[in-house]
Structures are given as structure tokens and as C-alpha cells.
Amino acid sequence: MPSVSPSASPGAQASAPQLLQQAVLGSRRVSNVLVAVLVSTGGVGFLLTSLSSYLGVDLLPIGHPAELLWVPQGLVMGAYSLAAILLSTYLWTVIGLDVGSGVNRFDKGASQCTITRRGFRQWIQVDLPLREIQAVKVEVREGFNPRRRLSLRVQGRRDLPLTRVGEPISLTDLEQSGAELARFLNVPLEGI
């Protein structure tokens, strides 16, 4: 959630905050962890099924995988297990690194906006002057692939997204966050 801290400079207005920071949630979400656990469990299950077929011994407590023929069922189960283990390794790495997390920082005192995100191998940082921000844009698209996104309309550039990727944010939170940011930056709010 956004946090606002007032500036300590004596020349600033005492009631107006000079700094707005919004934390952005990355890939460390419950939904991602559940998917990674399911893929990992499935990969181990396929691997045990493949090994049971090869060794002729039931390594799983359910079913009778030892009765499967090694060629082709055991080999196919082994290929599935390899794919699932590779996918789960990727998922756990992304969760461990918390890819996509970061901070949106708007500093009126320095007249600077800094957007930082954790990439796969490095931090990504975008700095831009506050005077280049023309509007705060709220984008809502419903349907099969819904999108609820808050972005900055920047002079001479593409829109700069501010919200997390993945599961959609509730409309109330999106509108409230957009209105708070537009009020702070003294720019119009578009898309509502």
C-alpha cells in the first residue's frame, strides 16, 4: 500500500506531503507458490511413476505404476517429469528472486519520479522529472484476459505501468490509488 512521508525541509508547506512511495508486489504471491507446489508435486509423481515402471517396484502408495511398460509409458512419464521439474525450478527461482517487486517513488522536493523493479538478473530503474508526467491513467479491461492497470502518461514516451503484473487489483483499490497519485502529482486522472 502507498505510504506518504512529509518532507523535513522548513521551506515546504507543513501540511503537504513531499514524498509518496508505493510498494509493488512481485512474484512472491500465494497463487504463484501454490502453482509451484503443484507443478513440483506433479513432477515428483511422474518421476516416481517412471522409476517404478523401469524398476518393476511400486514406489507410489496409490495405483500400480510398476505394471506399466517401460517403453513407451515409463519413458513418457520420465519426459513429463523432466518438463515439470524444469518448470518448477524456474517457478521457484522467480519466486525466490521476487521478480517484479519494487517501489514507485514520487519526490516533489527533488521533482523526480523513480520507478524500480526487480528483474530476473538485475534491478531495473526508470527516473523521470515530475514535469514530464501528463496524467495518471486507469485502464480496466474485463473478459477472458482481464487487465486492471495504473500507469503514467509521460510526455514523448509510452505509458509507464505502475501496478503489478498478474492477478487483477480490485477496482476500488485501483481507483483509490490512482486518485491519490493524481492528487499528489496535481495531474488529471484518465480512464474512469
Domain boundary assignment for the chain: 31-97, 100-190
Provide the pLDDT for residue 107: 95
Q: What is the tens place of the pLDDT at every residue in 59-113? A: 998 889 999 999 899 999 999 999 999 999 999 999 999 999 999 999 999 999 9
Q: What is the tens place of the pLDDT at every residue in 132-178? A: 999 999 988 888 877 888 999 999 889 999 987 776 788 888 899 99
Give every CB contact of residue 57 below 8 A, 6+ residues apart in sequence.
Answer: 66
Residue 14: band (very low, low, confident or very high) from pLDDT cuts 50, 70, 90: low
CATH 2.30.29 fits 100-190, yes or no: yes
For helices 30-55 and 75-97, what crossing angle results, to 10°? 150
CB 116 within 8 A of CB 125: yes
Furthest-apart CA atoms within the chain: distance in Å: 81
